[in-house]
Structure 1
Amino acid sequence: MTVATESLHVVCPHCHTTNRVAPADLSATPDCGKCHRPLFNGHPVALDEAAFEKHIARSQLPVLVDFWAPWCGPCRMMAPQFEAAAKQLEPHVRLAKVNTEEAQALGARLNIRSIPTLALYVNGREVARQPGAMGAADIVRWTRSHLG
């Protein structure tokens, strides 16, 4: 007799629908049940305020968010590093980007004082925050150190 593995809620980076995925299937490139696109593609997902709320509240995966702005030089320098970190951290961590110029109310509500700022969310709550640009290896190391 096989014991059913508890499934995880994973929010689709494309249509933002919540999917159930068995932990053992995370690395098997699962697709969204609604839009049928891959749940993980090794790239950060761009989130507006509504999508941010869905990913933070509904996903049972940790979510690492890069708060940035297009006019910010260090943000633009860190973008390829964050992209490289996504390839290393997915599918066990969702990486997301929030443009604070487009989501000003969200940035203000979350007290984002400088950019770039990384914030790590686990089970809907922020567990760590790091301002300033970082390289890919440092992003991966910092994230894993806060996940135990």
Structure 2
Amino acid sequence: MASNAVAQLDSSSFAEFINRPEPVLVDFWAPWCGPCRALGPTIDKLAAAHPGRVAKVNVDDAPEIASKFGIQSIPTVIVFQNGQPAEVMVGLRPEQAYADALAN
């Protein structure tokens, strides 16, 4: 994974990504979701500002992960710390809300 790229997680890479002491942000999305596509540039900016700490999960490709975390609406962004959800944001939010959650 390039240091400023958004990691694409699946069931084999998800647990390792979220089980870290520093906060990491995961965007649950799907390609057919308009608001998810609108959030894309914000996620890319966050990934550039926080290398290796931003990832996406396509809920169509990894429904088991979405189910485990109760994802019912997308986009849903969860900030994890030590494998646990620290903050959950459903729907579009201002860019600063995501940046603040990742910084805490």
Instruction: Normalising by structure 2, report the TM-score.
Output: 0.88
Q: How do 1:65-144 residues align onto structure 2 when only pairs under 5 Å count?
A: 65-88=26-49, 90-91=50-51, 94-144=53-103
Per-residue deviation, 1:137: 3.0
Structure 1, unmatched stretches of 5+, are 1-13, 15-37
Relative contact order, higher structure (CA 8 A, sep 6+): 2
Question: In structure 2, what is the Cα distance between the partners aligned to 1:128 and 1:71?
Answer: 25
Per-residue deviation, 1:85: 1.7
Residue 50 (structure 1) aligns with: 12
**Alignment length (residue pairs):** 104
Structure 2, unmatched stretches of 5+, are none
Residue 18 (structure 1) aligns with: none
Please tell me the residue identity of whatever aligns with 2:7.
Answer: V
Per-residue deviation, 1:60: 2.6
User: 8 Å contact 2:8–2:57 — kept in the other structure?
Assistant: yes
Instruction: Normalising by structure 1, report the TM-score.
Output: 0.64
Provide the alpha-carbon RMSD of the alignment. 1.7
